[in-house]
Structures are given as C-alpha cells and as structure tokens.
Amino acid sequence: MKIAVLCHASAGGSGVVATELGLQVARAGHDVHFVGTAQPFRLSGHGGMRGPYFHQVSSFAYALFEQPYPELAAANTLTEVILEHGVQLSHAHYAIPHATAAIHARAITGRSHVMTTLHGTDVTLVGAEPAFRHTTRHAIERSNHVTAVSHFLAGQTREVFGVDREIEVIHNFVDGDRFTRIADPAVRARFAHPDEALLVHVSNFRPVKRAEDVVQVFARVASEMPARLLMVGDGPERPRAFELARQLGVIGRTQFLGSFPDVETILGISDLFLLPSSNESFGLAALEAMSCEVPVVAARAGGIPEVVDDGVNGILCAVGDVDGMAHAALNILRDRDLYTAMARAAREAAVTRFHPNQIVPQYLQAYETTIRR
C-alpha cells in the first residue's frame, strides 16, 4: 500500500503516535510518505532509499493574507504527493487542519481515500471551539474512515458533534524494546540518590495537564520520605509549576528538564509516574511509563481508565484530589511487595495489550478495508 501521513511535528501525543505508526507501517513493507510543516519529532534518524519519506509543506507570505493558511498549503503539497507517488490513502492525525487538508486534496485529485484518527484535543478543544465546530464535524463526516484512540474519545466525539457514523477504536501502542527498565545505577545516579524515590511527570504543560497538582503531590510525598521529581516537557504552565515548587520549598529536589529528547531513559530509571490531568483521551505518556515498569498515580479522567487498571498497575483518584494522590503514591513507594506487583503488572499490560504487534495490524486492516471500500 501507498500511504500519506499528515501529523503535527511536535513531541505531543498525536505526533508521536503518527510517527511511530508510520515507521511500523514502513517496516512492514509499505510505502509511507509524511507530509507536514516540519519533520516529525521522532522521524529524525529514520528514512532512506526505502523510506519513509518526508515532504515539507511550503509556506507563502502575501500582504493580502492577514494570517497563514496551513490547510490550503498542506492540501497543495499532499496533492503533489498523491499525483507523483500514487498514494492510495491519506491518514490524517487530527481533524484540523490535517483531515480537512486531506479531504481537499481528495477533491482536487479524485484519488486517495481519507482516514482520520482523532487524538483528543482536536475534538475536546479545537473542535469544540465555535470558530471550528462546523469544519471539524465536516472533516469527521466526510472522511472515508474514522478511528479514535479510546472508547471515551469515540463516545465524546459522537456527543459533541452529534454524528452517528462508525468510529473504530484503535488504542495507542508502545515499543516495549525501547521503553524498558534501566537497571544501571550509574544512569539513575545522575538524577537521584539510591535512597530517594524518583517521581516523574511528562506532558506539554497545558492547563489540562494540571502541572501544579504534580508539584503539590510531590511536596506531600517529599515531606514524608526522601524523593526527587523530574518534570519533562515544556508549555505555558511550566513557569507556574516552577514558582509553586519554589513556594513549597521543593525546588531544590525538582528538576525541570524541558523537552528532553531521551524520555525513555528518564522513564526507565523512575519509580512512579504522576498524571493528574483533568482530561486525557488516552494517556500515552502513562503507557510508556508502564512499559518501563513504572506504576502510575493518575486522575480518573477521560480514557485513562482504559490504560491504567486501578489497584493493579496504578491508582486512580478524583481530578484535583492531590491528598488522595499523595497518599496513593506513598502507599505504593513504601510497600515493596505492592510496588513490585504493580511494576510487573504495568509492564505486562504494556507488552501484551498495547504492543505494536497487537495494534499495528488493526491499522493495516483499516487501511486495506478503506482502500477496498
């Protein structure tokens, strides 16, 4: 098959999933072409004569245009890729602008089916914005096939937009060979002493991630036992979280690492993952932590319960319940038998339910069905 992939280039969840899926599809022997304004974050170091290939969307500045038109530019570049490489299916990760661009290119060329994968904020944030509501609904309704990364997101899409079309649920996946436990104490010693618990949070630091809750939970844990916190990622709420850590007196035990490229190493040496988000369509960062044998303490929100089994590989609490999360974290970290059981269960879930061998064939089947249809 010949597949074009439209996705964001950033280290956010949708871009990570799109890139990892495209790489897996290319390894399976299919022709994969990435189309975007910049090379996807995790595509660096991959590609070659056999692909996958990257096609950059051109930019154009004109005084009459008060703002850029990413959908039109992406549609134009995708049209060229479809005509030149015979692309059979355009896989859009995110409704706007990617699905709308793919639908536009389909109309121009009369070729290439459109499959749209909904990741979360394209429905809950961008899609719910009145300025984009009708456009997002049109993208969903006019796609040849639509998938969502969780049952929660599929249901929310139907509710928010009033659509009754089929939305296939295909969960995200994790590379268990890449995200695995690191036993070398020298690596861990770069961030924590042997007697300290190492807690970690990875996100884009948007308000929905509740980064300040992470700091509050950690402050409670650190008042009871030796511990350190690693905050990985960047975004608008990072300065507020930094200031709160200073106010609570834990800034000396908290490191803000920014957009750390080697996140698998950080997760591989960590002891507990914190995810207090008020909404998550899936929780990919939590799954990557689980693959590294790291139990999760998270909010019971969105699609997180489809990833984290409460009481088995982590603990789920109400959104905003920082006391409950701190109590759960202390229980896990203090009880070695409980910790070991949860760590093993986390890894087991990651490599069985969410292994690429389980998930990628579902996407390949969806590609084949959509093309035949």
* Contacts of 180-189 spanning 24+ positions with Cβ under 8 A: 180/264, 180/268, 180/291, 180/292, 180/293, 181/268, 181/292, 181/293, 181/347, 182/265, 182/268, 182/269, 182/292, 187/265, 187/268, 187/269, 188/269
Tokens of 324: 């409950």
Compute φ and ψ for 209, nearest 5 degrees: -80, -15
Task: Read off the DSSP letter of residue 193.
Answer: -
- Sorted by sequence, the CB contacts under 8 Å of residue 261 that are 6+ apart come out as none
Q: Are strands 296-299 and 272-275 parallel, antiparallel or unpaired?
A: parallel
Q: Which of 287, 285, 199, 284 is nearest to 245 (CA)?
A: 199
Helix H or strand E segment including 153: helix 151-161
> Domains of the chain (ranges plus CATH)?
2-173+355-372 (3.40.50.2000), 185-352 (3.40.50.2000)
> What is the pLDDT tens value at each position of the chain, 373 positions in all?
999 999 887 656 777 889 899 999 999 999 999 998 877 766 766 656 566 888 888 776 655 555 567 788 899 999 999 999 999 999 999 888 899 999 999 999 999 999 999 988 767 666 566 777 888 899 999 999 999 999 999 999 998 888 889 999 999 999 999 999 999 999 999 999 999 999 999 999 999 999 999 999 999 999 999 999 999 999 999 999 999 999 999 999 999 998 877 899 999 999 999 999 999 999 999 999 999 999 999 999 999 999 999 999 999 999 999 999 999 999 999 999 999 999 999 999 999 999 999 999 999 999 999 999 8
